[in-house]
Each structure stands twice: as structure tokens, then as C-alpha cells.
Structure 1
Amino acid sequence: MATSDRSRDALRSRVRQQEAVAALSRRALETDDVDELLCEGTAAVTETLQADCCGVFESLGKEDGLRLKAGHGWEPDFVETSPILTNGGSDATPELLSSMPVTIPELEADPRFDGAGLFDAHELESGLCVGIGTSDDPWGVLGAYTGTRREFTDHEVTFVRTVANVLASAIDTERTKRSLRDAETLTDRIVETSPVGITVIDADGRNVFANSRGEELLGRPLETLRSYDHDDDRWNLVDERGDPLSSDEMPFSRVEEMGEPVYGETLGLDHPDGTRVWLSAHCAPLTDDDGEFDGAVYALEDITERTRLENELETTLDRVTDAFYSLDDDWRFTYLNDTAEELIDFHDRGLVGEPIWEAFEWAADSRLRTEYERAMATQEPTSFEFYYPEPLERWFEVNAYPSETGLSVYFQDISDRKVIERERAQNTETLNRLYAIASDQHRSFDEKVDRMLEIGRKRLGLEVGYLAKTDLEADQFEVTHASGESENIYPGSTAPLSETYCQRTVDADGLFGFADISTTDSIDEHVYDRWNLDCYLGGEVIVDGERYGTLCFEDTAARSSPFMPAEETFVELITQWVSYELGRERRERHLQRYIRYIDAVLDTIDDVFCIIDEDGGLRRWNETLPEATGYPPAEIGSLDVSTFLALEDAAVENAIDRGLDTGQIRTEAPLRTRDGETLDYEFAVSALENPDGETVLAGIGRDISERKARERALEESERRYRTLVEQFPNGAVTLFDEELRYTLAGGQSVHAVDATVDDIVGSTLWERYPETLAAELEPHFRAALDGCRHSFDFEYQDSHWHAHTLPVSDDEGKVFAGMMMVQDITERVRSKRKLEQLVDELEESNERLEQFAYAASHDMQEPLRMVSSYLTLVERRYGDVLDDEGQEFIDFAVDGADRMQEMINGLLAYSRIDTNGNPFEPVDCEEVLDDVLADLEMKIAETDAEITIEPLPTVYGDPGQLRQLFQNLLDNALTYSGEETPRITVFAETSQSSRTISVRDSGIGIEPTDTDRIFEVFNRLHSVDEYAGAGIGLALCQRIVERHDGRIWADSTGVDGSTFSVQLPAPPHTDD
């Protein structure tokens, strides 16, 4: 009973296996997804064999083992990631890939497998492996595995092998499909890129496909072609003879009828624009799966150009017919065609039947007989060229074909060809000579032209050849080069262009000439009478698109033959060469001028310019380089860049490397001079390719020593400026933008307004100040942003402030901010008010003092006049009775009274400087000095003084007081001149706001310690006995100068005279 049950179980198991194989086989036929089929196959094996895991392993090669491609029962992380199953390098992989199944009772113990990662993770014990694919082309392995040890039955092994075969078949099918797809893609690509046009016609004769070349050859896109039948009338199809093709004659119809390809058919068809195209067509049939005709494929090749050439050749051959005659074995003429008769039977006597050696006796001892007899003897054809003497005097090409009965001779006149060959040989020789002359570097252009004209003259057989310059507008013709003997043509000869043959050359398009003047009427009679030229050939010389002149050859005798094309080409070549050389010389001159100009420009600039090669050598430089470095110009060329630049400096080396890599660099580097000094330079360098293809560096260096100094000074200035802003004494400095928002603030008084720098910066004018003060300040702020400067005072927080608003500009002068500087002038205002009060009090006191002085002096003058009067009366009445001592007493008293009067007058004048002065006005100092010299005329004459007045400026002051000022100074200079003749010089110095006028004398001088004391009232340095005077003159001068807000001082060493200088205000609004 147990045995029976096992049999039934085994039977059911085999049935399940067959059902699984059948289902998988159907699935393989239904799906194109191989990966999905592999998953379904492993699932079927797992379920059918009741295994724990089943996997399809793809071979990675003998050394790399196998990789789990798909499976059932595995953790997902192991699929497509685990190249494990066999020990690499063993024979395990080839054994598993074989078609024989492999059972593994114990995976762990089997040395062929390294299952540490995959099998251990799934706790697998036994397995069954079957190769997928053939032994020659294995793809992989199908394996089933269990977690317990298990022996697989033969039926199970067969089942797994069958599944592996199903999978192998599916994989093979997929490979085949992929290959087919690749082949189709390749075919499509080949068809599309083929230089041959390919079209496909379906069974109904309709175009269904054309590649790009096919569309091009047929002149229509595929969309249009699909509307055409193969025999559509719109093709206008013709055969190679140009005859229309009927539908039955067309390649498609013949292929359809015969079932065989048609090759090399020549067809003509029209493009839509009417252009006729000739095609070589190959047409092959297409069949369906049943072998029935299913259309045709055309391969088309464009033979339009070839057809044109063949037609031209055929036309040419139709026009040329060889002469032919035949000889029998006795050398008698048996036949002559018309062409032969025309050539050799020039006496029209009939040559048929006559022996050739008797008809042409001269030929009996010629090459003609030798070649004919050898041909008959050897029975081999012969071909040779032969000259026929008088009366023909022609060359012939003879082709003789022997037979047993005679000789067939074909011959043609090749005299023209022989002439052409001689021309070609002469042309080759001439061109070689021209080339040798043109390439001779030892000859000048003039020598080359003269030599070419000589060769041309001999080549053409003419007397004279020349090159001339022409001016169409000025009607001028001048010969520059000439060869040959001529009374009229020589270098320097001139003529009106309109009266020369060259006028027709200039008017012509290309060469102009004639071999015999009788054949042309293009030369006016008066021009011919002047030159008497019967033969002429010339071309126009064009230089850089501009007319230059003509190159001509001429003769007084006509030529016997016209000019050959080769001769005309020869003249054209010389003309073109001269044009090219003149253009090249012009460009070279222009280039040299340009180079000199560039050199001059480079030498003019103050910057250093040089070109450096990759080795650091100097290729070119300007004059600034030796000037800047101190090296002599002759020595510069032997130096390299390391002489001037510190290449050992990493920054300089990196900059040069960057310049070579990037093509552009700008850097600063010290320039070393011959004396070892270094100059700050900025270099702009570009990498260029010179005409020799070498990479060089072209650099311009600018001395930035001054800029560096300015930058250092600027940095120092900025440091001091910031320090000044931060430490601005008794005030503050702020910057503000267009929104009147503060951007910077500093100074010692910032905190005096109950604010910090952070409080001020970022706030606006309206946010910082009360509305009334902000409204007062805003116009000044706006004016600063408009470029104006303002100074003004304002009050804020019980303090008085003096403010300056001014614009802040960039290097281009554009205002980008405003600045306000304020100082606390509260104490100054208070002091000013006190000072004003004191001034008022002082003015009041001075006024009282002046009144007192006037009253006192007036009251003193009356008694003084009385004393003087009585002394005079006593002297007059009692002078006779007074002894000498009494008279002396009288003189002392009178002199004292006079000096007292002088002192009183001086004191009155001193006190009235401010009260009795006139309003200020522009005063010409030269006019003032003229008046002073007139006042002192007598004293100047008495002292015989030498006075020099240099140009003097105009000042602003009181004319009367200035006259008194300079009169006192000149009078003192005359008085204190000593025993020498007075020498006095008056000169001036000017500044923007003041004028300084000085009086220099050669008198006794003043001790330096007394130069201040002399301006005190009644202070004298000398006794009255030595020098008269009241001692108030210089004090009066000082008082006048003080009224003019000026300054007076004296300079002296105690000897060699003194210089008195007066500084006075300049007139307002004048530069004088």
C-alpha cells in the first residue's frame, strides 16, 4: 500500500512538473519580457520542487563567477548585486555552465562554492544547478536550493533541465531579436547615408520609400514621391538615346514581368524646375513570404555629368574621320577613302592599283617603308608619327594593321597637335625661365622686369617690349622699363595716353592686340601715323584693384601668324606677375611705413614696451626700456627679461605662467635698473603668436612709482583723515548720501549733542534734528550734493556751531556724497561779543582821545605861536645888541619851538588817520610813486639819488594816505643814505589776496634789534644834530598800513642799507 502511494505521489509530481513546463513554455511564446519570464520560471521551480530558493545566475566570466540575475525566495538586496556562487579561478564556473546538471548535497562542504554571502544569509544546505544555453555558448545557471539536506530525483533533475532549456530558448530568442533590431538599425543607417539613391516601389507601382540621396536625385521629397507611380507622365522618362519610354519598357515593368533584376539602365527624367537628370538605374524585385512579387527596389546613381561628357566626346568623334587606305601584298593601293584622297592624292590622278613606292618615290627610303615592311613581316600592328614633305609639309599619325593579304592603314593629320606640342615645349621652357627670373633673390625688381621683357620680346618675335605707367584722368603715358631698339619707346619717354595704342589696352577687358593691323580698325589713323606699329599685344597692369599701367609688346612689321593662346597666356602671366610684384612692393612700403610709424608711436609713449619669447629673450623693445633701465640701447639686445624682472620672485613667475596659459595678465612687478635700483611698474601682458608660429609675450609696463607714492601718501592721508575725523577737535565730521542719510560720523563733539556714532550713522537729517533746524540745514545739504560749498552758523542745544558743507567726488569728479564739518564756536561767539563790546568802548575812548589830542594840540599851538612870535620880535629888535651867546640862546629857543610845532603837526596827523581818511578804491601804485617823486624832486636832485621803480601793481586803499606812506619811506631812504649817493629800488610781489611793495636803499642801515622799535611814536635812533626829524614818520606809516589791514616791516643787517616792505590788500575781484 505504501509503495502504491509513493508511486501515485511521484506520478502527481511529474504531472505538476509537466504542467509547469507547459505553462512556462506558453508564457515564453506570449511575452517579450525575458526578465519577467526568468522570475516566473524561478517561481515555478520553487513551487514545483517545494524548494526554499531558486535563482537564475548570469555568467560574468570564468574569473568573476556568476551573478544572481533573477530568483524566487531570495532577499531583494541580493538580486543583481551578488557575484557569488563559485570560487573564482577554479573550474567550478565552466562545470556549472555545461549542459550536465550538477547536484550539491552540501553547499557548505562543496569546495566549488563560496556561499558565505548568499547561501549563508539564507541558510541553504543543498542545491541543484543546470546550465542555461549550450556548452559552446553558455549564458548562465538555473539553480534550486533547500534549507535542509536533500537528494534530488532524476525526474526533478530532468524538470529543472527542461525549465533551463525553455529559459535558454527565450534568452536565445531575445538575443536574435536584438541582433535583428541592430541589423535593421544598421541597415536603415546605411540606406540613409548611402551615396546611392534608393527607392522602393510597391506591387502597385507606387513609390513608398526614398532615402535622402534618392529624394535629391529625383528632385522631390518623399511626401511628393508617394503620389507618383513608376511610370507617371510627370517624370518625362527617356532612354539613353533621348527617346520616350513606354510603361512596358521601364525597368519596374520588366522586373515585374521577368522576376529578374535589371542592371545599368540609363534613364533621363525631369526635375520640377525642368532640369534634365540622367541616372544609372539598377532595379531588383521584392517578394513576400510566399515568393510572390511584392514590388521592386531601385538603386540610382547620378550620371548626368558623365552623360554630358560622353555626348560631347561622341559629337567630337563624329566630326573627326581618320583617313584610310589599304595596300595589297605587292604594296599596291587597293582602296582610299575620301579623306585619304583629299590628303595624299592632291594631283587627283587616282592611286588605286598604283604601287605606293612608285607613287611616292621619296618614301621608298623613308621610315614609312621600314615600318610597313616590319609590320608585314611580323604580322604585328605598328603606330608612328611621320612627316610628309612637300607639297603637304604636314605631320601624320599612322596606324598600320597587317594581314596575310596586305596592310590596312589609318592616318590622321597631327600637324596642329605637333604645333601645339612645340608651343607647349616653348611655353614650358619660357615659364621655367620666367620662374627662374622671378625667384632670383639676387635681382632687383627693375632687373627682373627688363629680363622678362627681353624674353617676351624674343618669345613673340617682336621688336620692342615695355612697361608703362598710365593716368586715365590726366591723359598721361610714361615708359618705365623697355627692351629692344625704338626711337619712341625708352625709359622716361612720355605721350598723351589717348594718342597711344595703350589707350585701347586700358579700354579693353583683358588683353588687346593684333598680329596684323590690316585685320583691325580699332587704331585711329593719327595714332598709327605717330607710331607706325603693325603688330601689338598688351595687357593692363592692375595693382591692388587700381589701374597702374600697361605691359606691351609691339613691332613695326606685321606677324605672319596670329597670336597663339599660349603666347597670350604668356603675356598675361608677365602682366599678372608685374601686378603682383608692384602690389607686393606697395604693401611692403606701406608695411615698412606702418612699422616705422608703430616704432615711432612705441618710442613716443612713456611706457615700456617689449616682446619676450618663451626663453625670456627680448625680441623687440621701444626706446623707453633703455631710458628706464639705464642700459645702453646697443646692450639691450643681448639681455633677457631676467635682467629687468625678478624671475626668482614666485609672484612674477606665476604671472608669466598665467600669461602663457590664459593669454592675458595684468600684474605689478619691480623693474630693475642697471644701477641696481628698483622701480615700481605695472605690466599688461598678452600672449601672441608671431609670424613664425612661436608664442611670445607682448607687454606694456608703466612706471607707477609716483602712483605708489601717492597711494602710500593716500593711505597715510586716509589714516590721518580717519584719525582727524575721529579726533576732530571741538567739532564733528559727517558724510551723507542723496537721501540725506548719514553714512559716517566722528569727532570729539559727537557726544556733546547727546548722541553716539551709531545713533547718527543710518539716520536722516530729519530724524536727527528738530524740524525747524532740519529745514534750515537742508538747502546747504542739497547744495553740497549739487557740487557747491557753503559756510554758515547755526544754534543747537544751547550751543553755537560753525558749519561747512561741501561735495565729495570720485576720481572722475562725480559727486557721490556730501560732507558737513561743524565746530563748536560757543566760546568764540561769547568772546566775539565781549570783543565787540570792548571795541565799542575802545572806539569811544579813541574818539575822546582824538578830541582831546586835537584840543590839546590846538591849545598848545597858540602859546607856541606866541613864543615863536616874541622870540622873532626880540631877535629882530635886539639882535644887534645881543652878544653871540645871547644870539645862540635865541636860536635854541626858535629851533625848539619849530620842532615842537612839527611834533604837534605829526601828532595831529597820526590821530586823524582813521577819522580823516578817504574811502578805499583801487589805487595804481605806479601813479602814486610818480606823484611822490614829483614831491621829492628837489631833494632827489640835491642828493643826486638813483631811483629805480619796477612794475608795481594796483592795491585797494586810500590814495592820499598811500601817497603819504610811500613819500615818508622814500624821504627816509634819501635822508639816511649816508655819505654815498643814494641808490633806491622800489619793487613788488603779488599773491592772490595781497600785494607786497618794498623800498630798498643803500644807506646806513638799521641794527636788527631796532627794526621793531623804529615804528614807535617819537622814537629816534639818531640825535637831531645827526638827522633832522620829529621821529613820527614811521609810526605814521604803520598807522596807515594798519588802517588798510596790512603789515609793515623792515629788514636790515646794520650795514648795506635797509628794505622796508608794506603788505596791502589786493583790489576785490581781480587777479592783478
Structure 2
Amino acid sequence: MHEIASVTLHNEMDLILANKRSMRLAELAGLSLAAQTTFATAVSEVSRYAIERGLDACLTLYITDSNESVQSLVAQIARGRFFISNHDDEAFEYARRLVNDLLITDTAKGSQITLRCHLHNNRKISSARAEQWSKQFVSEPPVSPYDEIKRKNAQLLELSERLRESEQHYRSLTDSLPVMIFTADVDGRLTYANERLIHYTGQSIKTLNQTKWQSITHEDDFDRVRAVWAAATPAGRPFQYELRLKEATTDDYLWHMVWVTTDTATHEPQWTGIIVNIHAQKLIEQTLSDNKELKYAKQQLEKYQRELESSIRELNRSNTELSQFAYIASHDLQEPLRKIQAFGDVLLAQYSTQLDASGADVLHRMQNSANRMQHLVKDLLTFSRLTTRPQSLRPLDLNQILTDVLSDLEVTISDKQASISIEPLPTLPGDPLQLRQLFQNLLSNALKFAHTDRLPAIKVLSTMVSAGQLPTTVSLHNHRPYYALVVADNGIGLDEKYSERIFQLFQRLHNRRQYEGTGMGLAICKKVAENHGGTIAVHSQVGEGTTMTVYLPAD
């Protein structure tokens, strides 16, 4: 057989070279494009098997002699001492279907895989032609930067082997090459380093041996590299690794690839290493990896966007249903209530004299229940509008809003003989109807829950607060300025363990007979504050009064 080309199989880049070499040979042999691809695929599958299992193999491509009855392309994978335990592996089964013959031979020295692809009988390849192709594979331009480095590595290793016995010639040659070269004994101690290595590290061979390269090797790589040496040297097989070495002139750690081979034929085995700067290649790989991560992040973002759009559609549907409920509450529910109240009024006006005390009590209870339900429906309608009605925020003078609210509550204030102290309030962006509802509910509560032993005294004031003064239990935009709007009273107060409960819908702390209401006033206040980008908090003690503080953004 005539050897045409060979590829050592260590990594994925070697797999690409194996595929390209096989494809090129099949092309030179005159096979169709489909046959070229089939042969190269079979070779790639078996080569991948060897690489993935770390078999340290070598692929060699041949052409059989022209005097054989059927001339063939041959691909052999062998070298080193590796053994194939499973001859029926999926890779071999797949390759068998692609070539004319696949044979696995086991000997005491190891396993050998041979693939054959027959050529047409009308196209014989002479020995001269085969020799020409062999030279062509050597002289052809490299198919990739990795191929070029691999060829240079092979050439340099070959030169190192040839010149090993001529040390002076070896030194002259290695010093002139644009790579770092060294030789070491079985313990990894340097016996030689070319000028480029000495110049790059800024250290002598003696210093490097004393520190075992630790002073110039990145701390994240040192233990890994030492482990690679310890594992490879007893077996006497070639190996390679990547590491970061510090450049003496800049103190920068740059990525390098190290190829190491040995000559075990000598009495004292010598290890020869070649160090090539691959920092630019690593940067490109990192960029590609970052691009993959960026692409994945984009895909995740698009997924979240779709989920958000789905949630928005569901929210819009829910808001539509809530709007429909508000319509029912404002029309269909209130109309029957008005009729109940009207019929009750008729009964009271025209037939109250005909009812005994028990009947009159039942009628009054019916009227009171209808009135409470009407108030509840109105409060529900108010709350639903706070949720669904879009806000049109504009600068509002809170002093004017407070004046209007006090006017509405004038009768209650007079009946309670309440004193109200007001300090100037700021102008804030807001919805006038919602902020009016806020102040009305807060002041109504302060008047409603007055202490029986003293006249109501209510204070309304505001102050600018810093980020550190905002409530720690809520998450606001602390980089924005906020106003604290305070409504403080001297009423009955409450236990602060209920400070969360009182802002929930329909929550009451007192009997309805003691204090009327639907339990929605403070829930409405909280919703108004949140609609304006703020919140509400309470500070109170039983019997000592209550302070309600509304935090609203100043801009």
C-alpha cells in the first residue's frame, strides 16, 4: 500500500482535519461527491470514537497497489497501546454501512481499525500517481490555523529529533524559531530552554527549576498542569495542555499551548516541548462563547416577553370582567336596593301606625340593612374604579383638595366639636378624584373613631423625607424624593399587630353597632397611594390615637 497522509487524533480540530484529508483523497481518486462524503463520514465516525475515548491514535490514509484485483482507499486508525472492548459500538456499526469493509484487528500490541472503500476497476491509480499525491498533501496550504500550527509542530518536533545529538546546531535552530522550546528530564526539570523562552519568562533555567514554573504559571492552571505531567510521564506518551504564562515585560498572563513528546529509546528519556502563543485564539473562543450566552439570554428574554404578553392579556381580560362587575354594581345592584328603600319608606309613612312594635323593629332593621348594602356597593364601585380607571396625573394643590373635603365634612366636624390643625401642604402630581377620596376617608376615620373622654383633635401636615426615612417594609424608588402626608388624631387608637389587616378589603376591628362602615375605607386609601407610586403606613397605640402617613413621590 502507498501511504498518502496521516493525522494524529487528539481533539475536535484533529477530527476536522481527518474529515478534510479523507474527503480530499476521495476527490483525487475520482469518486463522486456522494461517495467522497460517505467515505469521509465513515472515517470521521471512527476517528471521533478514538478521540472521545482518549485512545491517543493516529489516522493514516493509503491507496492499495494497482495490481490488486480491486484497488481501494484505506483508512487505518492505530498507534500506541489501545484496545477496543466493544467491536459492535454504534460508531463502528454506522461506519460499516458506509464503506465496503471495516475490520478491527486485535493483537498483543493493541487494536487496529481498517476501513476500505473500493475504486472503479476502470480507474487504476499507479504508484507514481500515489507518490505524487503523497507529496501534494505535504505541500498543500494548511486548511486552518490549527492545521498550520499542527504542521509546524510536527516539523519542529521532527527537527528537534534530528538535531538532538548536535546540541549546538539544535540551539542555533531553536533560538531562531518564533516559538518557545525546551527539553526536560523524566522529573520535569529543564535541561534546555531556547532564548525565546528565557526572554519571555525573564527567568533562567535554574530559577524555573527551583520554582517548578510556579512563579510564571497562573495560579488557576498550576495544579492542573502538574497533574497532566504526573499522569503522562510514566506511560511515556506524548501529551499537550493549555496554560497561562506570565510575560516578564508586562506581567500579563497569556494563553499558550504546550506540545510535549519523548524519546524513550535513549537511556535517559528526554522530553521535548514546544510552547505556542494561542492568546488571540482563546480570545476569539471566549467571544464566540459570549455570543452563545448572549443568544441564549436573548432567547430567554423573548420567552419571558411572550409570558409577559400572555399575562398582560389575562390581566386585560380580568380588568374587563372587573369593569363589567363595576357596571353591575352601579346599576343592576343599586336599582333593587333603591326599590327596597323606597318600599320601606312607603311602609314607614303609610302603614307604621298599623304595625306593632315587633313589626316596626323588623322594618327598621330592613331599612338599615339596605342602607349598609348600598354603602358597601358604592365602596366596591369606588375600589374597582381605582383598579381599572386610567390615571391622568397632573400637578395638584393639596391645600385646595383638603379645603373641599373639610367643606363636605363640615356637619360631622361641627357635631363632633372637632378641632382640626392644618399646616401648608405641597403641590403633587396626582388624580384629583382619587386624592380627594384619600383625604376624605382618612379624616372620616379620624372623626369616626374619636375617644369618648375627649373632643377630637386632628392634625394634617406634610414633610419631605429622605430614603432612610421611608418604611423598611415596602420597596419604593428610593432615589426619588417623597413627601410624607400625615393625618394624626387623638382617638381610640389600635393595636399595631393589626397594621397590615386594616388595609385589606372588608376588614373591621370593631363591632358594626359601635362604629358603622363597610371595612373598605383604608383599602381604598392604600390603593390610591399605590396608584400614585407610593404607600401608606400606620402608627398607633390603643387609647392614644392614630397617625396615618401616606408616602407619595414629589415628582
TM-score, with structure 2 as normaliser:
0.43
The answer to which structure has the higher helix fraction is 2
If you compute each CA radius of gyration, which structure gives the higher value, 1 or 2? 1
